[in-house]
A and B are shown apart, each in its own frame.
Chain A
Amino acid sequence: AQTIHQWPVAEIKAVGSPLSLGCTIKGKSSPNLYWYWQATGGTLQQLFYSITVGQVESVVQLNLSASRPKDDQFILSTEKLLLSHSGFYLCAWSPSGTSNTGQLYFGEGSKLTVL
């Protein structure tokens, strides 16, 4: 069975400090990977997606970056946090073969509070 693990579960960070969030997918070879962001009470917004190792596509510009250093790992980061970065970050995977699929499996999320 496939499992997806996100870390950390929650972070409280200062404005201007760096951030790194990660997720690991086990039990699935070459999945499509996604980062989503959800502001409190807000819509799920896709940030990045990756179809293969080393390749990441940016969907929106939020002063964030993403990398896929391994087939099963997806990292979201920034060097300087803004207040607007607060929210719920979700990593998700979908079966490979097409990037046009809504069959997403989400991790448990990372709650970020920027003060």
Chain B
Amino acid sequence: QQKVQQSPESLIVPEGGMASLNCTSSDRNVDYFWWYRQHSGKSPKMLMSIFSNGEKEEGRFTVHLNKASLHTSLHIRDSQPSDSALYLCAASGGSNAKLTFGKGTKLSVKS
């Protein structure tokens, strides 16, 4: 069964700092990765997706993907207190249509 591992479990960064979150899949058939953000008590909202090797940037958020190692990372620069949330990585691909989520990284941005 496909597993999605996220690290670290929790992360504290100062306001204005850089937050780096990691995610790896154990399934060689994975083609797609997504990052979701879930504020406390709210539903997840999709942040970014990445399918190709390399880097993708949207504002303060940058996602990297290494398909050979099935590793993706999310970097948030100039972190704000409003970025404090649970960040979920999800993966899917191959014949398995089911999207698998990791347990998430809890980010706290301290002002």
Binding site for B on A (CB under 8 A): 42-46, 49, 59, 90, 98-109
CB distance from A6 to the nearest CB of B (A): 9
Q: A59-B98, A103-B49, A106-B44 are in contact. Are A44 and B93 (CB under 8 A)?
A: no
**Interface SS of B by simple majority:** strand
What are the residues of chain B within 8 A of A107 when measuring CB–CB?
A: 43
Cβ contacts under 8 Å, B96 to chain A: 100
Can you list 22 A-B pairs with a CB-CB distance of less than 8 A? Answer: A43-B102, A43-B103, A44-B44, A45-B101, A46-B98, A59-B98, A90-B43, A90-B44, A98-B97, A100-B92, A100-B93, A101-B92, A102-B32, A102-B34, A104-B36, A104-B44, A104-B46, A105-B46, A106-B45, A108-B43, A109-B42, A109-B43
Q: Is B88 an interface residue (CB 8 A)?
A: yes
Closest-CB distance, B61 to chain A (whole angstroms) = 16
Binding site for A on B (CB under 8 A): 32-34, 36, 42-46, 49, 88, 90-93, 96-99, 101-104
A46-B98, A59-B98 given as contacts; is B43 within 8 A of A102 (CB)? no
Most buried by B among A49, A98, A104, A107: A104
A102-B46, A109-B42 given. 20 additional CB < 8 A pairs? A42-B103, A43-B101, A43-B104, A44-B90, A49-B98, A59-B98, A90-B44, A98-B97, A99-B97, A100-B96, A101-B92, A101-B99, A102-B49, A102-B91, A102-B99, A103-B34, A103-B46, A106-B44, A107-B43, A108-B43
Q: Is B97 touching A100 in the complex (CB atoms < 8 A)?
A: yes
Across the interface, do A102 and B45 meet the contact criterion of CB distance under 8 Å? no
